Amino acid sequence: MDELTQKARLLRKNLTQQEQKLWNILKNKQFYGYKFLRQYPIKPYIADFICREAKIIIEIDGGQHNQAKDIAYDKVRTAYLNKLGYKVIRFWNNDIDMNLEGVYKVLQSEMGID
């Protein structure tokens, strides 16, 4: 097993509070029958959540993503994933904590669900 896969497995076992809240909505095809996977390796990155069928990646960002070097890194990462055909949707931890219903509605909209 390669290093990236090992890291993804470790991350799956140690979800953040916000990742767990979103996973409770996405797991077991609960979100309109779409299958999501968590902490999914896409070399050289690990996506927080992915729906391969819909070509959607969901990232949940904490405050560290607001620093200049992390903003630049995320931009490069998103461009790479876009080139692979994925649409990347980002939410802040605060979005998950304070407005989970709003996050749900954004996901519906981004996935073309009425």
**Could you tell me which residues come within 8 angstroms of residue 4 by beta carbon, excluding any fewer than 6 positions away?**
41, 43, 44, 46
- pTM for the full model? 0.92
The per-residue pLDDT for 36 is 98
Domains in the chain, CATH or no CATH each: 3-110 (3.40.960.10)
Q: State how far the Cα of 12 lies from the Cα of 27, in Å rounded to an integer.
A: 13
Instruction: Output the six-digit token pair for 108.
Output: 């519906």
Contact 34, 54 (CB under 8 A): yes
pLDDT 10s per residue in the chain (114 long)? 799 999 999 999 999 999 999 999 999 999 999 999 999 999 999 999 999 999 999 999 886 656 777 789 999 999 999 999 999 999 999 999 999 999 999 999 999 997
pLDDT in tens, 89-99: 999 999 999 99
Secondary structure (H, E, C), the chain: CCHHHHHHHHHHHCCCHHHHHHHHHHHHHCCCCCCCEEEEEECCEEEEEEECCCCEEEEEECHHHHCHHHHHHHHHHHHHHHHCCCEEEEEEHHHHHHCHHHHHHHHHHHCCCC
